[in-house]
């Protein structure tokens, strides 16, 4: 079935999740052809969870020996290139452009991103020992961020899409890669069952203790910070380069575009926790809360 979506084009239901129809061929190609390596790292998220931020952090973390974040003479790749070019999405970039792309140019450990739900990951990504980092963000901010992004994609003359209509759809589970709760629950369960493979990270907790989270990510990925790195401020340097203020103001992120027409600047809006209150009434917030309470009941997960 297909649903005239509240995003752009149409959404279709595939194996229990809603996908933009235009992405289905890339999703199928990825499922059929992607072969995970043991050393691979996949960053997974619901759209608008802060993926751009974590892409940058993981890239800087894994490449810290090659690219220093403290050397002012050296232009770090994150300061001249968009994080989505440095860390491509499997189904949105690589397998969308080619049915079976040659990934030989990616150095080990390969770092990719995907929005695919756990149950729809390529078999080898679930079965192999590759690592998954799942980024989760509270549904109210994720929803508002998605609503803003949706408005960017609409022709100007159509105006903003009515928020109550979008809220209604979101709470029915109809949004890109939704239902939100099934997406989150799939990875939450996997992280409880296989903590050595799946790390579940909350955007809000990263905001609160970014240094602690970067260190935990490095431990999880098998590249912990040395005493010397901790003393010389490597963690802080990574966070500085990846900060909203730095990334949102560099030239490529102000003026660059994706091949699909998205503008890089759309991925940097406010980057705050709790911005939903500026767009939704308390009653609307309660609607999301009660849906989540019901859907997450018994999972042990509180968002």
Catalytic residue ranges = 115
Closest approach of Cβ 191 to ligand A3P, in Å?
Answer: 19
Residue 128 burial (10 A CB sphere; 0-12, 13-18, 19+) = middle
Applying CB under 6 A, the residues found at the interface with ligand A3P are 45, 47-53, 141, 145, 148, 242-244, 247, 267-271, 275
Could you tell me whether strands 10-14 and 17-20 are parallel, antiparallel, or unpaired per DSSP bridges?
A: antiparallel
H helices within 195-233, ranges in order? 203-208, 210-220, 227-231
Nearer to ligand A3P, 68 or 151 (CB): 151
Closest approach of Cβ 297 to ligand A3P, in Å?
Answer: 26
Task: Look up residue 277 and give its DSSP letter.
Answer: G
Closest approach of Cβ 298 to ligand A3P, in Å?
Answer: 28
Nearer to ligand A3P, 60 or 190 (CB): 60
Could you tell me whether strands 41-45 and 131-136 are parallel, antiparallel, or unpaired per DSSP bridges?
A: parallel
Strand partners, 135: 45, 201
Please state whether the peptide bond connecting residue 179 to the residue before it is cis, i.e. omega within 30 degrees of 0: yes
CA distance to 6, 7, 33, 142, per residue, from 151 (Å): 9, 8, 34, 14
Closest approach of Cβ 301 to ligand A3P, in Å?
Answer: 19
Contacts of residue 293, Cβ cutoff 8 Å, sequence gap at least 6? none
Q: Is the dihedral of CA 37, 109, 231, 246 positive or negative?
A: negative
Nearer to ligand A3P, 14 or 268 (CB): 268
Nearer to ligand A3P, 106 or 268 (CB): 268
Closest approach of Cβ 271 to ligand A3P, in Å?
Answer: 3
Question: Smallest Cα–Cα separation from 50: which of 122, 114, 145?
Answer: 145
């Amino acid at each position: 079935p297909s649903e005239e979506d509240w995003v752009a084009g149409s959404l279709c239901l595939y194996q229990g999740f809603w996908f933009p129809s235009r992405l289905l061929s890339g999703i199928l190609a990825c499922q059929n052809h992607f072969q995970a390596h043991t050393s691979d790292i996949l960053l997974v998220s619901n759209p608008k969870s802060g993926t751009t931020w974590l892409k940058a952090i993981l890239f800087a973390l894994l490449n810290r020996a090659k690219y220093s974040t403290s050397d002012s003479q050296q232009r770090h790749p994150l300061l001249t290139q968009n994080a989505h070019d440095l860390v491509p999405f499997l189904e949105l970039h690589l397998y969308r452009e080619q049915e079976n792309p040659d990934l030989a140019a990616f150095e080990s450990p390969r770092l990719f991103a995907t929005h695919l739900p756990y149950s729809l990951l390529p078999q080898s990504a679930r079965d192999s020992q590759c690592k998954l980092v799942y980024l989760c963000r509270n549904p109210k901010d994720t929803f508002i961020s998605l609503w803003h992004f949706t408005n960017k994609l609409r022709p100007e003359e159509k105006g903003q899409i009515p928020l109550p209509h979008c809220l209604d759809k979101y709470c029915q589970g109809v949004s890109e890669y939704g239902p939100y709760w099934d997406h989150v629950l799939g990875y939450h369960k996997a992280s409880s069952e296989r903590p050595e493979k799946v790390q579940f990270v909350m955007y809000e907790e990263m905001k609160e203790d970014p240094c602690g989270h970067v260190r935990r990510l490095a431990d999880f990925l098998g590249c912990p910070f040395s005493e010397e790195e901790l003393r010389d401020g490597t963690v802080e340097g990574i966070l500085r380069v990846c900060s909203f203020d730095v990334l949102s103001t560099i030239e490529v992120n102000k003026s660059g575009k994706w091949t699909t027409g998205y503008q890089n600047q759309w991925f940097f809006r406010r980057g705050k926790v709790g911005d939903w209150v500026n767009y939704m009434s308390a009653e609307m917030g309660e609607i999301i809360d009660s849906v989540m309470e019901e859907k997450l009941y018994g999972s042990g997960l509180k968002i």
